[in-house]
Amino acid sequence: MGRLVVNFTGLEIEASAALVCVLVFLFLYQQSRMVFFGLWACAWLVRVAASLVGYQLIRWQNWGWLAAYAIAGYTFAIVLIAAATCSATAGSGRKHWPTALRLVSLLPPVAAVLLSSGWPSRLEAYHFAQGLLLSLVYFYNFLMLRTNSGIGANVFRVSLLLLAATPLWEGALDHAAWYEAALGCVLAMGAMAMWGESQVHRIRDLVTELDHVRREISNRIDLDRLTGLFNQSALAARIEACLIFDGVVAVCDVDHFKEVNDRYGHLIGDEILRHVGHLLQSSIRQEDEAFRWGGDEFVVLFHQQPRGVAGGRMTEIEARLRDFQVRGFGVLPISFSWGTADGRGRPLRDALDEADRLMYQRKRSRAMGQQAAWP
């Protein structure tokens, strides 16, 4: 084979740039565990090995080292093909990337073809073929990353595109090794930025998920597990927050609930409370609120409703409770006492106290067998 005249400085620059890329992509793989970054680290490690083999090739001027150099270049291309099949934003990469690595099994035939075809004596043809192969591989990676967005991804893709176009103007460059080394460093910086952007998106997704979980937990804390209504803590918070209430407050209570528990048991009592809660929730508007105040006592807030309309709604609820049926016992009419108070622009606490007082007046009147007229 003819004597090779190669710039050792250029070879050292190529090896140094490849080593920097190895370190960067190894760091990215360690931080992200993305197969994409791991394969790029392996590819640049092969590129470092190829530079060392290239040094021996220049030193010994032997066709065996040329075959080894060609195999290293082929391996570099195959690993990059495998990297292209992985998504840079996925945690584990696509499942078919190992298939691309199986192309490494073609290394022995490639070496045999190189030796039998006399390529060691045609270095220019070999160099052109290797450059064309790498251009196609870089362009394939460019296409596979077209769905990635962000500044880092764009820098990475532009670097790949420029590397793919290297054979077009490499001959016109006085220092081609410097050019490729610079592009390799830019490629590594783009990968760092791309990883940083993926972490930002991940953090945003986690924040959104945490907000959703926080809202769910907050809602569960404010809900009564038996009836599905807001609980006493939620009512207390609403009283503190609502300095002026525009609407009607209704306080209601199941009559003789203790006797029902004593006669039928607590399971039946819980079923009654659950039924009352579902009935209240289904009988009010979406903007209204129903609370279980404690035991068998409930509170309904009718926002921006006239007192007559709210009273009519409570009368309908009371009538429906008379037809309540208990499994295994048949119809079990429920007596239901209630009182309403108009907010009239005053604090919610004052309206709640008035409605509670009126509810107990009605309950006492029923106990005495008297019929009272209520507004």
Domain locations along the chain: 8-205, 232-367
Q: Tens digit of pLDDT per residue, the chain (375 long)?
A: 444 445 566 667 878 888 899 999 999 999 888 888 888 999 999 888 887 887 776 666 666 777 777 788 888 888 888 888 776 554 444 455 565 556 555 555 655 555 555 544 555 666 677 778 888 888 888 888 877 678 888 898 899 888 888 877 665 555 667 778 888 889 999 989 988 888 888 898 899 898 888 877 766 788 888 998 999 988 998 888 877 888 999 999 998 888 888 888 888 888 889 989 999 999 999 999 999 998 899 999 999 989 999 999 999 998 888 877 776 677 777 888 999 999 888 899 999 999 999 999 988 887 776 444 444
State the pTM of this model.
0.53
Catalytic residues: 296
CATH of domain 232-367: 3.30.70.270
**Helices 8-32 & 35-60 angle (0-180, nearest 10):** 160
331: tokens are 């119809």
Max Cα–Cα distance, the chain, nearest Å: 122
Cβ-count burial 157-173 (b if 16+ within 10 Å, e if not): bebbebbbebeeeeeee
Identify whether the C-beta of residue 229 lies closer than 8 Å to the C-beta of residue 66.
Answer: no
